[in-house]
Chain A
Amino acid sequence: MLEFTFIEEDDALQVWLKGDLDIEGTEVVDEQLLPKITSYSKVNIDFKEVPFVDSSGMGLLINMVDEIKNTGNTVTISNVRDEVYEVFELLQLSEIIGEEVFV
């Protein structure tokens, strides 16, 4: 099950995801994470503890990045595991949500 922890610093938010970003994480992302992170001008999401993803999870991620960008805030994603990044590459995710998101 997906969980997350966070630290806020002024208008910046650091989020650590823990668990698989998959269909079961839909509620966590849409109902808990998304309302929270749209109110910070700078957000970083750490993927270090995300070992697996599925296509629904990718949909959630794209949606989340789009929402943040729509509010004019910036979002970055860090520490993506190699094997997860392989999935991102196959889907050309960096071209969908923007190269600059990955740090």
Chain B
Amino acid sequence: MQEIVSKGKSLDEAVQNGLNLLNTSKEQVNIEIIQTDTSGFFGVGKKPAIVKLTLNNQNSVTQNQEMSHFNLEDWVETLSEEITTYEKDGIAQPQENVIKEDALKGKAWIEDGKIGVKNSSERYPSVSISTDVFLIKNGEEITNQNTILTEEDEVKIKVEEPIIKETDWNIKVEEQGLKVTLNVQPGQTIYKHIVDQEPNEHVELMAEETIEKTNTLKLEDIMLKLKEFGVIYGVDQDEISLATETLEESTFVIATGREPQLGEDGWVEYKVETSSKKTLVENEDGTIDFRESKSIPSVEKGEILAKIHLPKLGIPGLNVMNQPLPAKQSHPVVVKTGNGVIEVENQLVATESGRPSIETRGLLMKASIIPKLTHHENVNLSSGNIKFNGDVEVIGEVEENMTVDAEGDLFIHQSVSYASLTTLSSILVKGNITSSTLEAGKHNMLIIELGHILRNLHQQLGKMLIVIEQLTKTSAFKSSDFSINGLQPLIKILLEKRFKGFYTQAKQYKDIVSKGESNLDEEWRRLAIDLNQTFLSLSNKIIKMEHLNRIMMSMKELADISDIPVEPNAQITISEAHNSSLYCSGNISVIGKGCINSKVHAGGHLHIKGILRGGEIYGRLGVTINEVGSRSGTKTLISVPADQTIFINKALEGTILKVGSVSYKVNDTMDNVIVKLNHNDEIVIEPYGKEQSYA
């Protein structure tokens, strides 16, 4: 039998409270009124309503059975006027708790790592176990993923032991002792604990990780290691203490050396103008005013050409072991004084008057004064040919069969007929050129050619040295005879087949040098002698490895020099040419009427402002022509390398255009075209805007 006494402010409330406690409805109980409520006077004598409910159905509530043991009278005695005192003796649960407990039936929950279960007559709560949790039920470990629980089971939950990782660290001396780094990976402990779960018919038993970082690195450990490495300079205590405290993996620079300060190479400060670019200047009306051509820079005897600044020494650094680190060496400018220049207290002074010529290549500098010869008459049989180691200016004509050979700039005021002009620098002719040969900057063409050969030789020799090295490492190869015969027997065999091409090219180099000897610097000639002795002849000189290495270096240096672009000084500027041959390693400009039946070869760009009728022309860096072609049908050929273009304002029928090895014959007169190769190596002819024509 189940009975309950409940109270409330009114009878209804008292009944409802009782029903809630029993978790049942009015129909299921008998209600007996023990006391009706009294409102009292201003709260004095106020009494709650009290009812006794008796369950009709025995099955409905079980956990409230203890209620029945109460002596009703006692119970009523203890009921105070205040509703709150209800909770006081802890026997009667507050309403909510009772409800909760009721709701727990047949459920399991997890709280603070412990599992709780309430039985139910209807079902067993089930639990699933994740792999990192062990459930021991009644002394037996459950290996299934799922199981059921009852209140009576003795259940223990275990998780994996904490995983402990020690603090890891290492010290490295880096950058040649300029830096000491300390990498710290703090240790950690991974704890597992069971995740709380709300009461449910099915709960999941799983663990979650918490990671606790620890850093056990001690200052003493670090100092001991530094001592072991011999680190005594530039130690940063602050960084070290940060390293002992860090809880994140990090790298600390705990000691730094002092970097050496770079020195500064020597340099040259010019005191005079040295560029001597000289061209004809066109007036606005298209005529040429020869008087306006730029003047040549010149110096007087005793003038200071340049000041040589000495290199600044670098300051040596200090590594963390307190050892000095040498500063990179700085180099002085190497000056070669030529004609008319002396060096006085790091200054270059002219001892002659003339045009200053200063050439610098890296730290190598050559300075000289190029004297100037002014010839006031025609060059003819009575004056003789002119050969002069400097600039030449001819106020008159150059007549039939005469030659003018200058090392500097050549300036002819009047015409040149059936004659020959040669210079290493530029040629400027104001008059007509008829049936003559002009060559400018031959020297440079030669160097480009030799540079090309040297580049191949250098590459081959490099490979040869590798083969020699491989050989000496081969077990069956004895290098004992190197000390007696040197490398020559080996070189001879290698040139026989494996480096056959080397022999041919070395010979080619030697031949070209001997032909152009007078125009080449000593370095080029010396290499030719070296190549001859080492590879081409059967000299008895003992060749050692160092010798080959020296040749390698020398090849590289000279090949690099040849790479320097064609000097702008090599150029030809003329007004017009007939039946002549022009050859220049730099640009050629024909700025008057044009070229008739002439052969023109420009190592740079070729620009003809007038017409081109007949002849063959070539511009290594492209060709720009106003009008080309011949109505009479004389063959006119324009060619450029495959990667260059031809600009033409007007091309007459019959003109042949050649780009790379592909030729094109103009069938109909074309205006404003640009001619080049497309990526299929076919000639394409595109129109262009007139304004681009002299771009």
Q: Does A56 contact B (CB under 8 A)?
A: yes
Contact A83 B476 (CB under 8 A): yes
**In the complex, are the beta carbons of B496 and A56 less than 8 A apart?**
no
Complex interface bits, A40-79 against B, C-beta within 8 A gives 1, otherwise 0: 0000000000011111111100100000000000000000
CB <8 Å contact, B481 and A23? yes
In this assembly, does A1 line the interface, its C-beta being within 8 Å of a C-beta of chain B? no
- The smallest C-beta distance from B544 to any residue of chain A, in angstroms, reads 13
Known A86-B474, A86-B476, A87-B476; judge A96-B497 contact (CB<8 A).
yes
Min CB distance, B451 to chain A, in Å? 29
Q: In the complex, which residues 111-128 of chain B have their Cβ closer than 8 Å to any Cβ of chain A?
A: none
Give the residue of B478, B482, B498 whose beta carbon is less than 8 angstroms from that of A53.
Answer: B478
The residues of A that contact B97 with a CB separation of less than 8 Å are: none
Report the bound CA distance from A51 to B476 in whole Å.
Answer: 6
* Contact (Cβ within 8 A) A59 B493: yes
| B497 pairs with A95, CB closer than 8 A | yes
B695 within 8 A of A: no
Confirm or deny: B272 has a beta carbon within 8 angstroms of a beta carbon on chain A. Answer: no
Contact check: which of B467, B475, B489, B497 meets A59 at CB < 8 Å?
B489
User: Does B480 sit at the interface, judged by CB under 8 A?
Assistant: yes
B 403-442 to A, binary, CB cutoff 8 A, 1 in contact else 0: 0000000000000000000000000000000000000000
Q: How large is the interface on B (under 10, 10 to 19, 20 to 34, 35 or more residues)?
A: 20 to 34
Judge whether A36 is part of the interface by a CB distance below 8 angstroms.
Answer: no
Q: Is B60 an interface residue (CB 8 A)?
A: no
Give Cα distance in the complex from A3 to B493, angstroms.
24
Give the Cβ gap from B138 to chain A, nearest Cβ, in Å.
76
Enumerate A77-95 residues with CB–CB distance to B below 8 Å: 81, 83-84, 86-87, 90-93, 95
Contacts of B489 in A (CB 8 A): 55-56, 58-59
Q: Which residues of A contact B481 (CB under 8 A)?
A: 22-23, 54-57
CB contact list, B490-544 vs A, under 8 A: 490, 492-494, 496-498
**Is there an interface contact between A90 and B476, defined as CB atoms closer than 8 Å?**
no
Taking each of A54, A86, A91, which has the highest tally of chain B beta carbons within 10 Å of its own beta carbon? A54
Q: Are B494 and A81 within 8 A (Cβ)?
A: no
Task: Please state if A55 and B474 are interface contacts (CB–CB under 8 Å).
Answer: no
Docked pose: A51 CA to B477 CA in angstroms:
9
Q: Which residues of A contact B490 (CB under 8 A)?
A: 55, 58
Q: Mark A18-31, 1 if CB is under 8 A from B, else 0.
A: 00101100000000
**B-side contacts of A95, CB under 8 Å:** 497-498
What residues of A have a CB within 8 angstroms of the CB of B493 in the complex? 55, 58-59, 62, 91, 93, 96
Query: A29–B43 Cα gap in the complex (Å)?
Result: 142
CA–CA, A87 and B477, complex, Å: 7
Chain A proximity mask over B447-474: 1 for CB below 8 Å, otherwise 0: 0000000000000000000010011001
Q: Are B476 and A22 in contact (CB under 8 A)?
A: no
Is B293 an interface residue when CB atoms closer than 8 A count as contact? no
Chain A residues bordering chain B, tally (CB within 8 A): 24
Interface hub of B478, B479, B485, B490 (most chain A Cβ within 10 A): B478
A52-B498 CB under 8 A given contacts A23-B485, A59-B493, A62-B493: no
B484 at interface, CB cutoff 8 A: yes
Closest to B476 in A: A83
Residues of B close to A59: CB separation below 8 A: 489, 492-493
Kindly name the residue among B470, B479, B490 whose own CB sees the greatest number of chain A CB atoms within 10 A.
B490
B471 contacts which of A20, A57, A87, A96 (Cβ < 8 Å)?
A87
The reply to whether A52 and B467 contact each other, CB–CB distance below 8 Å, is no
Instruction: Across the interface, name the chain B residue whose C-beta is closest to A62.
Output: B493
Across the interface, do A90 and B470 meet the contact criterion of CB distance under 8 Å?
yes
* B487 / chain A contacts, CB cutoff of 8 Å: 55
| Residues in chain B near residue A84, CB distance under 8 A | 476
User: How distant is B479 from chain A, measured CB to nearest CB, in Å?
Assistant: 7
Residues of chain B lying within 8 A (CB to CB) of residue A96: 493, 496-497
Q: Is the CB of A22 within 8 A of B497?
A: no
CB within 8 Å for A90 and B480 given contacts A55-B489, A55-B493, A59-B489 = no
A83 touches B480 (CB 8 A): no
CB distance from B498 to the nearest CB of A (A): 4
Complex: how many Å from CA A58 to CA B130? 77
- CB–CB A23/B477 < 8 A: no
- In Å, the complex CA distance between A15 and B394 comes to 80
Q: Contact string, B351-383, partner A, CB cutoff 8 A, digits 1/0?
A: 000000000000000000000000000000000
Taking a contact as CB atoms under 8 Å apart, the answer to whether B496 and A52 are in contact is no
B477 touches A52 (CB 8 A): yes
What 8 A-B pairs are tightest by C-beta distance, nearest first?
A55-B490, A83-B476, A23-B481, A54-B478, A84-B476, A55-B489, A92-B498, A56-B481
- Residues of B in contact with A (beta carbons under 8 Å apart): 467, 470-471, 474-482, 484-485, 487, 489-490, 492-494, 496-498
Q: Which chain A residues have a beta carbon within 8 Å of chain B's beta carbons?
A: 20, 22-23, 51-59, 62, 81, 83-84, 86-87, 90-93, 95-96
7 other A-B residue contacts (CB within 8 Å) besides A55-B479, A57-B478, A62-B496: A52-B477, A52-B478, A55-B481, A81-B476, A83-B475, A95-B497, A96-B493
A-B contact pairs, 14 of them (CB 8 A): A22-B480, A23-B484, A54-B478, A54-B480, A54-B481, A55-B471, A56-B484, A58-B489, A59-B489, A84-B476, A86-B474, A90-B470, A91-B471, A91-B497
